[in-house]
Amino acid sequence: MRILRKGLLLIAALAFSISFAGKPNFTILHSIDVTEIQPVHHGKEGGAARAATLVKQLDDGNMILTFGGDAFSPSIMSSIFKGKQVVDVFNKIGIDVAVFGNHEFDFGPEVAEQRVKESNFPWLSSNLVNKKTGEPLAGGVRYVIKTVNGVKVGFIGLVGDWLNITSPGDDAKYLDYITTARKLATMLKKDMGVDMVVAVTHMDMADDTKLASQVPAVDLILGGHDHRGMFDVVNGTLIFKPKSNWRSVGYMKVYMIPGLKPVVLFNVIPINNKIPEDPEMKALVNKYASVLDKELAIPIGETKVPLDAHRATVRTKESNFGDLIADAMREFTGADVAITNGGGIRTDSSYGPGELSRKDVLAVLPFGNKVISVKVSGADLKAALENGVSLVERVKGRFPQVSGLSFTYNPSAAPGKRVVTVMVNGQPLDPRKTYVVAINDYMGHGGDGYAVFKNAPRVISERDGTLLATVVMNYIKAHSPVAPKVEGRIKTTR
């Protein structure tokens, strides 16, 4: 695997081999994980208005726009508009085909289906289906065929097995992506007469690599999910992913050579403040931004210390912001302890010292999760903590931020055997005792591997739960100014 750097990257050998070919048969412009329609990184990168300008500059009438998943969430805007703002932007920019990402289902299958209906383009869902009907989930399609400049191109959409990290509903069923790809690629080429099969994917690079190595009938893999720009060539198949949020896009030049696999050359094009903003797209973005600003500018309190929401913190160790969130959950529910998954704490940033607004909290907690509480045994509570630290070396979102308990774990031990000690409100954990645990409803459905909570008796049910962001905002209001500090709730040992 190779990580993409700024500017232009070419596969030199391929470039040399077809340097005589001149104009490509067609082009593809690929983007991924666009949850922010405004520029990111203090306005220096990304932004729908700049992306729209680039599309107009590159489109010669033979260009296909593809999207590698994750649009409806998470972002501050999504907490208000539930992804409609991104669909409107995609419709205007002219996306031709997209694949579902896990965040398409953060607000449940009904919202996802509504967003699909509002889209002027198809959403691929080749291996994510409704278990009752066998049809693609949420109004998606199994494949798309587009003819461009005389070339018949078949698109399939493949996703990783990420059902437990989002909320696709009880009817969602995951199909093996290798089996699905073999079946569809063969059908498209033999029965539908397509000249090229493109897999638009939303899964880890390791899965994309496996796809390229085991399904040679797939000619190009345009991925998402990883957020970082990267590429590889496996079994003669290019795998490509640009950066998220339009920080870069991939511009593919496709050359059809009779009797051979299509040759794909790519440019990595950064989108930054050197690219002018398209006026019409900027007006659309500003419309949403103005509504958002009015809703969220209201101050709720003050923090005397920086609140740490950095990804590397909340997914690997105790965070003072994680402590505050878990404390708010425990106080609101009256539970013995509280656990929240670090992956639900977003923005990869810090806040304060200074004033905190509704916008700040909703940026950090954008998913619309509710606070619930459940009854579990001490043994199951320890099992939940074991799950939480089972993938810490991979910086996964299941890492627990806690309140009312402290624990020590050994990150070098085998997963499932890492938790060494657990103290609940100053007393050793009793595996036979029943504890009330405040969690979010995503964890309550077994999300992020928290299976022990899925069938646990509810004290506060999903029906009666309150939005986590609201709980945290109310806690900050009540305790302002806040000054949480890392207390040693989570420790490591060797």
- Same domain for 133 and 193: yes
**In terms of Cα–Cα distance, which of 188, 194, 185, 260 is closest to 221?**
185
pLDDT at 2: 62
- Same domain for 361 and 230: no
Phi/psi at 23 (5° precision) = -70, 135
Cβ-in-10-Å burial (0-12, 13-18, 19+) of 183 comes to middle
- Same domain for 282 and 190: yes
pLDDT at 366: 86
What are the distances in angstroms from CA 417 to CA 340, 389, 467? Answer: 21, 10, 33
Q: Check if the beta carbon of residue 207 is closer than 8 Å to that of residue 162.
A: no
Find the mean pLDDT for residues 255-283: 96
Q: How far is Cα 45 from Cα 48, in angstroms, rounded to an integer?
A: 10
Q: How far is Cα 262 from Cα 257, in angstroms, rounded to an integer?
A: 6
- Same domain for 173 and 303: no
pLDDT of residue 187 exceeding 80: yes
pLDDT at 162: 86
pLDDT of residue 12 exceeding 60: no
pLDDT, tens digit (0-9, with 9 covering 90-100), for 45-66: 999 999 999 999 999 999 999 9
pLDDT at 4: 52
Region of residue 425 (left: phi > 0; alpha: psi -120 to 50; beta: else): left
- Mean per-residue pLDDT over the chain, rounded: 93
- Same domain for 372 and 353: yes
- 48-58 vs 279-296: helix axis angle to the nearest 10? 170
Q: Final residue of a domain: which of 233, 265, 289?
A: 289
Q: How far is Cα 240 from Cα 249, in angstroms, rounded to an integer?
A: 10
- Same domain for 340 and 205: no
Per the structure, the complete domain to which residue 358 belongs is given by: 298-492
- Same domain for 359 and 381: yes
DSSP string, 140-165: -BSEEEEEETTEEEEEEEEE-S-GGG
**In terms of Cα–Cα distance, which of 350, 375, 372 is closest to 360?**
350
H or E, element range at 325: helix 320-333
pLDDT of residue 351 exceeding 70: yes
3-class state of residue 281 by DSSP:
helix
pLDDT of residue 89 exceeding 50: yes
Q: How far is Cα 385 from Cα 389, in angstroms, rounded to an integer?
A: 6
pLDDT at 1: 59
| Position 213, amino acid | S
Q: Which residues contact 172 (CB under 8 A, 6 or more apart)?
A: 105, 109, 128, 129, 130, 131, 137, 163
- Same domain for 325 and 284: no
pLDDT at 470: 87
Higher pLDDT pick, 252 / 295: 252
232 DSSP β-pair partners: 239
- Same domain for 309 and 284: no
Q: Which tokens go with 320?
A: 């003072």
pLDDT, tens digit (0-9, with 9 covering 90-100), for 371-388: 999 999 999 999 999 999
Q: Final residue of a domain: which of 289, 311, 345?
A: 289
**In terms of Cα–Cα distance, which of 363, 318, 360 is closest to 340?**
318
Q: How far is Cα 363 from Cα 212, in angstroms, rounded to an integer?
A: 37
pLDDT of residue 14 exceeding 50: no
**In terms of Cα–Cα distance, which of 363, 306, 297, 335 is closest to 482?**
306
pLDDT of residue 420 exceeding 70: yes
Percent of residues, the chain, with pLDDT higher than 90: 84
pLDDT of residue 326 exceeding 80: yes
Find the mean pLDDT for residues 210-228: 95
- Same domain for 225 and 348: no
C-alpha distance across the termini of the chain, in Å = 32
pLDDT at 466: 83
DSSP string, 92-103: HHT--EEE--GG
Find the mean pLDDT for residues 252-256: 97
Find the mean pLDDT for residues 174-199: 98
Q: How many domains does the chain have?
A: 2
* CATH number of the domain encompassing residue 203: 3.60.21.10
Find the mean pLDDT for residues 338-350: 95
Q: Half-sphere exposure of 489 toward its Cβ, with a 13 Å CA cutoff?
A: 28
Find the mean pLDDT for residues 178-189: 98
pLDDT, tens digit (0-9, with 9 covering 90-100), for 421-436: 999 999 999 999 999 9
* CATH number of the domain encompassing residue 485: 3.90.780.10
Find the mean pLDDT for residues 399-413: 98
- Same domain for 207 and 129: yes
pLDDT at 55: 98
- Same domain for 285 and 345: no
pLDDT, tens digit (0-9, with 9 covering 90-100), for 353-367: 999 998 899 989 988
pLDDT at 22: 77
pLDDT at 73: 87
Residue with tokens 């329609």: 37
What are the distances in angstroms from CA 357 to CA 285, 335, 363, 470? Answer: 21, 27, 10, 12
pLDDT of residue 8 exceeding 70: no
| Position 421, amino acid | T
pLDDT of residue 18 exceeding 80: no
Predicted TM-score of the model (pTM): 0.74
pLDDT of residue 407 exceeding 60: yes
pLDDT, tens digit (0-9, with 9 covering 90-100), for 101-151: 998 998 899 999 999 999 999 999 999 999 999 999 999 999 999 999 999
